[in-house]
Structure 1
């Protein structure tokens, strides 16, 4: 059994945490907030009808937007409450409860590999530190050769950007492009956010 993620430890400490998180995004959507920035970037990377894995999908906003753009989306999250919200708010994709550190989608009947992986919302920093490298290996294993991953998270959240990039390289993912935001601003040594576009050779 892998170590529990920071997210699931927060849920154990506060059983209302997941419901609060779901309502936060429902509220933002009702207010007309732009919640599709990450999905727009990933959509621009994808051919029409691409197979996309939303890794750490939460309540489904990114995967839902990509589904509406015409892609075949599978979303995975460790939190059943978030998956239930994704199924309710964003019907269409396949939503699954799975721990990313043990990700084995063929065992669930999802046998085809993915053209793209997206992991938004600081997912990498919510993982147990002992599982981060393993998660990157599992994501790489679910990509087609030449497939890409777009992974974004903020600085000062306990996972140094250089450590993440070293873990990604050890997982067999080549760094193609580094951005400082999901809206394509360049990455610099002073950036407080990283969006890494990685490729499986």
Structure 2
């Protein structure tokens, strides 16, 4: 199957500072674990978690440190290299979301697509990705999505809340929660954290 290029991939050099920024933050001891704390709080001990678009590895590494069985996947070679440099014990698959086959990787208690993954997907693939997320979830599993609702960087898209809800419902998912942050603030206009489950 030929996969469309992601918006992240098409943006090329315009996004190269992302991994370096977070690696520097980790090295300086900055707290970068907000997403991981959120997922850890909703997951049973030792949950099987898939981190789609794991970037430079910070969320996957933090969840592994909390005792979860984590599968990280990141299609960008530079970000995988940054992840290896920062977290050498964290294996990372080189797949984008649509290349993840449940028959090969199994199913998960939690699937995360945080760090604006949803607004950097390939053009027109949002529903297909959400369908794949549904298929990767165990029957009682949940997905966590976090992204800016408006374009924030080169190549990203605007993805309004009502469009995400419609795409989720069309993909066999339902919205369980919507927050304005990983600290459970009320919904806001420019950022959303979603918890989805199978419909």
TM-score (norm 1): 0.89
Output the CA distance in 2 between the equivalents of 1:96 and 1:50.
19
- Cα distance, 1:53 vs structure 2: 0.4
Which 5+ residue runs of structure 2 have no aligned equivalent? 152-157
* Residue aligning to 1:78: 75
Whether the 8 Å CA contact 1:52–1:71 is kept in 2: the answer is yes
- Cα distance, 1:132 vs structure 2: 1.0
* Residue aligning to 1:192: 190
- Cα distance, 1:32 vs structure 2: 2.2
Whether the 8 Å CA contact 2:52–2:96 is kept in 1: the answer is no
* Residue aligning to 1:145: 139
Output the CA distance in 1 between the equivalents of 2:41 and 2:168.
22
* Residue aligning to 1:3: 4
Alpha-carbon RMSD across the aligned residues, in angstroms, is: 1.7
**Match runs of 1:149-168 below 5 Å:** 149-157=143-151, 158-168=158-168
Whether the 8 Å CA contact 1:59–1:86 is kept in 2: the answer is yes
* Residue aligning to 1:124: 118
Output the CA distance in 2 between the equivalents of 1:88 and 1:105.
28
Which 5+ residue runs of structure 1 have no aligned equivalent? none
* Residue aligning to 2:56: 59
Q: 1:91 to 1:105 in 2, by over 3 A?
A: farther
- Cα distance, 1:93 vs structure 2: 4.2
Q: 1:92 to 1:200 in 2, by over 3 A?
A: farther
- Cα distance, 1:159 vs structure 2: 1.2
Provide the secondary structure at the position in 2 that maps to 1:129.
coil
TM-score (norm 2): 0.90
Q: 1:144 to 1:93 in 2, by over 3 A?
A: farther
Q: Aligned match of 1:114 in 108, 114, 124?
A: 108
Q: Aligned match of 1:31 in 28, 31, 40?
A: 28
- Cα distance, 1:61 vs structure 2: 0.5
Task: Find out whether 1:172 has 2:172 as its counterpart.
Answer: yes
In the comparison of the two structures, how many residue pairs are matched?
A: 192
